[in-house]
């Protein structure tokens, strides 16, 4: 079928499956098969498309689009993505921005990414601060394997460790950055999110545990919707000063930071 026909078919089926953005997802799938970008599709609508059905069926079953495509963009990077780790999200780019801003005046900053997952945060930090010494830690061996694959593909040198984030945070760093699990239950999530690793999504108390354990000049945490005030109080109670909340591009309070 042509790209035009493939777009129509994919949009129809994804809408029927309850996907929130059926046209956008259809464009991603067809562009991927044609080896072009979404913006480049307009010039390729009469081209033949092959291999749509297996990818479309996976997305129709509500598998995350990034897993179906096998890669996803984050900051300046394109990362390999699969079910071993969370999908890198645009709101997490705000976490990277604040970390870079706090470390701007520090020479060769030592940065720890707790819950490194696919490596998105750690690798973006290393990419944009080549002089930084970046370490990522995770309790998931599968996630660490994916992070190592991404580091190798991108040619970026970061240290990746298996272990407990709070113990690593206590070692002494310039910046400790984390996007801890902050969802109470998978039941409240969309089907796509329920396909992602539960250990990286569901949990409570990790912000407080890290805030109390971290030995660092700065801590920078991503938080869930409506959690910024609570996490800010936790940082204050743990002795952090200059606590600040930053909104993401959607206007949600997404990042909480503190200084020693």
User: Where do the domains of the chain lie?
Assistant: 3-61, 85-259
Residue 146's pLDDT band (boundaries 50, 70, 90)? very high
This prediction's pTM: 0.90
pLDDT for 203 beyond 60: no
- C-alpha 110/C-alpha 174 separation (Å) is 5
CA 75 to CA 83: how far, in whole Å? 21
**Segment holding 207, helix H or strand E:** helix 206-213
Q: Which CATH architecture describes the domain 85-259?
A: 3-Layer(aba) Sandwich (3.40)
Predicted pLDDT of residue 183: 63
Q: What percent of the chain has pLDDT over 70?
A: 91
88 and 76 Cβ atoms separated by less than 8 Å? no
- Going edge to edge, which strands form the sheet with 133-138? 159-162, 133-138, 110-114, 173-178, 216-222, 253-259, 241-247
> What average pLDDT score do residues 104-133 get?
97
- At 37-79, the pLDDT tens digits run 999 999 999 999 999 999 999 999 999 999 999 999 999 999 9
* C-alpha distance from residue 150 to each of 71, 90, 113, 141, 156 (Å): 10, 18, 15, 14, 8
Q: Which of 36-50, 129-143, 170-184 has the lowest mean pLDDT?
A: 170-184
- Specify the range with the lowest mean pLDDT, choosing from 15-19, 185-189, 224-228: 185-189
- The token duo for 236 is 């204050």
Separation between Cα atoms, residue 81 and residue 86, nearest integer Å: 8
Q: Is residue 12 classed as helix, strand or coil in its secondary structure?
A: helix
> Got the DSSP string for 16-46?
HTT-S-HHHHHHHHHHHHHTS-TTTGGG-TT
Residues 124/96, Cβ–Cβ less than 8 Å: yes
Q: What are phi and psi of 161, to 5 degrees?
A: -125, 150
Percent of the chain at pLDDT exceeding 90: 88
* pLDDT > 60? residue 156: yes
Phi, psi at 242, each rounded to 5°: 50, 45
């Amino acid at each position: 079928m042509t790209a035009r026909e493939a777009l129509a078919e994919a949009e129809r089926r994804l809408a029927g499956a309850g996907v929130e953005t059926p046209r956008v997802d259809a464009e991603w799938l067809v562009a991927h098969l044609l080896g072009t970008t979404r913006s480049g599709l307009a010039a390729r609508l009469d081209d033949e498309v092959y291999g749509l059905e297996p990818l479309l069926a996976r997305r129709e079953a509500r598998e995350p689009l990034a897993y179906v495509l096998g890669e996803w963009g984050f900051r300046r990077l394109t990362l390999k993505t699969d079910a071993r780790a969370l999908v890198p999200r645009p709101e997490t780019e705000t976490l990277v921005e604040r970390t870079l801003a706090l470390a701007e005046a520090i020479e060769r900053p030592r940065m720890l990414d707790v819950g490194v997952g696919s490596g998105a945060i750690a690798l973006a930090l290393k990419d944009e601060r080549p002089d930084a010494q970046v370490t990522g830690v995770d309790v998931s061996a599968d996630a660490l394997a994916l992070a190592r694959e991404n580091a190798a593909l991108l040619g970026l040198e970061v240290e990746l460790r298996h272990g407990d984030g709070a113990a690593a945070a206590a070692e002494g760093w310039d910046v400790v950055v984390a996007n801890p699990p902050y969802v109470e239950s998978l039941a409240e999530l969309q089907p796509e999110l329920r396909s992602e690793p539960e250990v990286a999504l569901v949990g409570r108390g990790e912000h407080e545990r890290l805030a109390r354990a971290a030995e660092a000049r700065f801590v920078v945490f991503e938080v869930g919707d409506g959690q910024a005030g609570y996490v800010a109080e936790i940082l204050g109670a743990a002795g952090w000063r200059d606590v600040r909340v930053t909104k993401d591009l959607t206007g949600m309070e997404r990042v909480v930071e503190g200084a020693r």
